[in-house]
Amino acid sequence: MNYLAHAYLSFNHPEILAGNMMSDFVKGKQKFIYSNEIQKGITLHRLIDQFTDTHAATHDAKQYFRPAVGLYAGAFVDIVYDHFLALDNTLHSAQGLARFAETTYDILEKFEVILPQKFARMLPYMRTQNWLYNYRTIQGIENSFGGLVHRAVYLNNSLAAFNAFMQHYDELKQCYTAFFPEVKSFVQAQLLLLSTENKGI
């Protein structure tokens, strides 16, 4: 999943949010330098990614991108899921999403001194460009695709992927609709499990 989904699936727990959002920048045993709650967020991020990668709806969604971007299909699907989450009026309104985005940035900035350097450097851009909110827009998705290509080793441009997104928009939305309630339930169950593990139960 991409940033908006990881933020949403932290369910308003500040330390879990911090761990969840920075997890990709924490390698190996580095996670043990953080508090138990932040470690829980890091672990949760990895469980979410594993669940997402192996879900049937994600497999279907990847097929629309694979001819254009090959093995990077999953990364583009992650961004697409954030787009449909941002538009999901069963979870929030546009105004609600705007407040959620600002609250997320505020919380992450409180943890700035312990964030991995790469994530800390990225956070001001995330806020000023309002990545979390702008997943709602087609332009925001086009920009996110461009950013992904910029970071990718074997891709030169995002046009083919963006064309696939627009061509299969309705099918990709159906994939999101099949997937997101299940990952939400999965995360809620994992948070309960992680809490009981921390208590030694």
Q: What is the pLDDT of residues 15-32, one digit of tens each?
A: 999 999 999 999 988 999
Domain coverage including residue 122: 3-23+36-198
Question: In this structure, is residue 176 part of a structural domain?
Answer: yes
CB-based contact 163:68 (threshold 8 Å): yes
Question: In this structure, is residue 28 part of a structural domain?
Answer: no
pLDDT digits (tens, 9 = 90+) for 39-86: 999 999 999 999 999 999 999 999 999 999 999 999 999 999 999 999
Residue 198: pLDDT band (50, 70, 90) is: low
Question: In this structure, is residue 102 part of a structural domain?
Answer: yes
CA gap 20, 59 in Å, rounded: 23
Question: In this structure, is residue 29 part of a structural domain?
Answer: no
φ/ψ of residue 26, rounded to 5: -110, 115
Report how many domains make up the chain. Answer: 1
Mean per-residue pLDDT of the chain? 94
CA gap 14, 7 in Å, rounded: 10
Question: In this structure, is residue 165 part of a structural domain?
Answer: yes
The encoded tokens of residue 28 equal 């190996």
Q: Does the pLDDT at position 153 exceed 50?
A: yes
Q: In this predicted structure, what is the pLDDT of residue 201? A: 38
Write the CB contacts of 65 (distance below 8 Å, at least 6 apart in sequence).
72, 73, 76, 77, 161, 164, 165
CB-based contact 61:77 (threshold 8 Å): yes
CB-based contact 165:80 (threshold 8 Å): yes
CA gap 85, 73 in Å, rounded: 18
Q: Across residues 141-168, what is the average pLDDT?
A: 92
